[in-house]
Amino acid sequence: MDEDMDMRFEQTPSSDVAFTPAVKAIQARKGSRHGYERMEERGGWDTTIGPDLAAFIAAQTSVFFATASKDGQPYIQHRGGPAGFLRVIDEKTIGFADFAGNRQYITQGNLAENPKAYLFLIDYAHRRRIKLWGEARVVEDDPELIEKLMPPDYKARPEQAILFTLAAWDANCPQHIPQRFEAADVAAALEARDARIQALEAEVKRLRDAAGSA
């Protein structure tokens, strides 16, 4: 085995962020471990945000943000906004303005004692979902950063900023994802349909009038 191969196996695969020894034991028992071992030999999951993932993130209007307390109690919070409210800052960092809400501060409390975090993005229209593991922190005292992350003309009050540092990400297959569409996209499609119907009706009337006067 050459030196590069030795170094590759000495490194911890990025997918180990999710594939703990307990997970691997179950994979082995249920027959999927061999396939994932081949993936791990290539280094595991991607660890940077490339152009395709950046475009996907920028198009999202919704994200599920998971944290856990110091003793492991999980919590999932929904965050939403106009497309672009999730900002890719660099190949390892996603930021967003944290809008004022119900003031429970569970996510912020969890991050204060356990920085591990997880983002789940799902595009129902195209039946795609992306999972991102990493760490997050709350930034309260940087008005310039908060202003930079605030979507233009969006009617919400930013209370602070959240920065998410990526460890690894993976994409799921579309199986079992229901196909749903944004209300604004449906409204635009119906408007275009109605305009097309009106144009066709006008053309039919013109042709009938022309035939009647012939």
- pLDDT above 90: residue 102: no
Q: What are the structure tokens assigned to 136, written together?
A: 């997050």
Domain boundaries, the chain: 3-41, 51-172, 181-214
Position 6 confidence tier, pLDDT thresholds 50, 70, 90: very low
Is pLDDT above 60 for 36?
A: yes
Q: How far apart are CA 83 and CA 151, in angstroms?
A: 9
**Which fold is adopted by the domain 51-172?**
Pnp Oxidase; Chain A (2.30.110)
Q: In the prediction, which pLDDT does 214 show? A: 66
Summarize the confidence of residues 165-176 as an average pLDDT: 88
Backbone φ/ψ region at 177: left (φ over 0), alpha (ψ -120 to 50), beta: beta
| pLDDT over 80 at 88, yes or no | yes
